[in-house]
Amino acid sequence: MKRMIAGFIFLLLVLGSCNNKKSNNLPTRMSDSIHRLNEDSLAQAAKGPHQTNADELFNDFIYNFASDPAIQRQRIVFPLLVDNGGKKSFIDARHWKHDYLFIHQKIYTLIFDRQKDMDLVNDTSLKSVQVEWLYPKNKMVKHYNFKRVRGMWLLESINMSQMTNIEDETFLNFYGRFSTDSLFQAQRVCQPLKFVTANPDDDFSMIEATIDVSQWFAFKPQLPILQLSNINYGQQNSDKSIQKIVAFKGVSNGFSNMLYFRKKAGKWKLYKFEDTSM
């Protein structure tokens, strides 16, 4: 009987000690939780879904991610960190609403400073990629941050930020007006405008010519007004760049246009237009 009582007292002491230890460590654990959360969640998410062929190229993955709700939920690190201008919050799986990104649109856009960076689209060694929405009117950028973990692409976090560059004519400022003001647009198209298009008589050659402003308005693609999409594969995208290439790509429809802009004497102008749609 004495042994039973002693054992019971010992058990109470052990439990009390554990509770005190937990209580004392609580502030430290809370302060460390945000730091460890993404690492733990990334590892956990990587255990669930399996790598597929679509993981090889990010563009293949992002189409599946945006179009299939089941795949999207499997490839998000929950609870998902959302940083809105420094204000952090988390979205758990129960409250996540499917995000179609840009696949419900006929086209999406990519932005480059250099033509050689376009090769990154087909780079299979990428480790991180950001899908971006740029809002010219509000000067805001929204980033979806993807990481490749054990060969699989996972959405790690989302962050939104205000553009801080207040130059008179950043490219985004310029584009916001170029896409909405036809008179301004006409003034900012070089005359003559270089024009490249597919040769209808030869699938393997291109036709290079020049067109005037009226022809530009006849041939130009529909320019997104409220927001521009971009996929940042790691390409250079600097506010100080004097060249911007905006690629318009169709969502599963073979559409392909490219607009080449150059900044000269502080003003952006369109100097080349390519239409290589299939």
User: DSSP labels for 192-205?
Assistant: EEEEEEEETTEEEE
pLDDT > 90? residue 19: no
Output the average pLDDT for the chain.
Answer: 85
Asked if the structure places residue 28 within a domain, the reply is no
One domain for residues 135 and 176:
no
Domain ends where: 162, 179, 194? 162
Residue type, 253: N
Is 17 within the bounds of a domain?
Answer: no
Question: What local confidence, expressed as pLDDT, does residue 17 receive?
Answer: 43
Sign of CA dihedral 266, 269, 272, 273: positive
Same domain, 151 and 176: no
pTM for the model stands at 0.80
Same domain, 206 and 271: yes
Q: How many domains does the chain have?
A: 2
pLDDT cut 70: percent of the chain above it: 81
Tell whether 59 and 156 lie within a shared domain.
yes
Residue 188 belongs to some domain of the structure: yes
Kindly provide the residue ranges of all beta strands, DSSP E only, lying in the chain, ordered along the sequence. Answer: 76-84, 87-91, 107-112, 128-135, 140-149, 152-162, 189-199, 202-211, 228-232, 243-250, 256-264, 267-275
User: Can you give the three-state secondary structure of 14-73, one letter per residue?
Assistant: HHHHHHHHHHHHHHHHHHHHHHHHHHHHHHHHHHCCCCCHHHCCHHHHHHHHHHCHHHHH
Indicate whether 36 belongs to any domain: no
- 248 touches 256 (CB < 8 A): yes
Residues 136, 50: Cα–Cα separation, whole Å: 38
Measured distance CA(35)–CA(153) in Å, rounded:
21
Which tokens belong to 274? 């390519």
pLDDT at 166 over 50: yes
Does residue 54 sit in the same domain as residue 155? yes
Say whether both 138 and 195 belong to one domain: no
Query: Are 101 and 133 part of one and the same domain?
Result: yes
Place 7 in a pLDDT band, splitting at 50, 70 and 90. Answer: very low
Distance between CA atoms of residues 261 and 273, nearest Å? 9
Rounded Cα distance between 169 and 177, Å, is 10
| Residue of 108, 137, 133, 120 whose CA lies nearest to 249 | 108
Residue 22 lies in a domain: no
Position 139 in a domain: yes
Residues 158 and 175 in one domain: no
* DSSP H or E segment with residue 177: helix 171-178
Provide the domain limits for residue 126.
46-106+113-162
Q: Look up the CATH number of the domain holding residue 151.
A: 3.10.450
Structure tokens at 130: 């950001």
Domain assignment of residue 53, yes or no = yes
- Please check whether residues 176 and 157 belong to one and the same domain: no
Cα angle, residue 184 at apex, residues 179 and 190 outer, rounded to 5°: 95
Indicate if 131 and 191 belong to the same structural domain: no
Are 142 and 72 in the same domain?
A: yes
> Helix (H, G, I), strand (E, B), or coil: what is residue 91?
strand
CA pair distance 33, 45, nearest whole angstrom: 17
Residue with tokens 């937990």: 22
37-93 pLDDT tens trace: 455 555 555 456 778 888 999 999 999 999 999 999 999 999 999 999 999 999 999
pLDDT digits (tens, 9 = 90+) for 106-159: 899 999 999 999 999 999 999 999 999 999 988 899 999 999 999 999 999 999
**Do 50 and 141 sit in the same domain of this protein?**
yes
What span, in angstroms and rounded, lies between the C-alpha atoms of 213 and 224?
19
Q: Does 197 fall in a domain?
A: yes
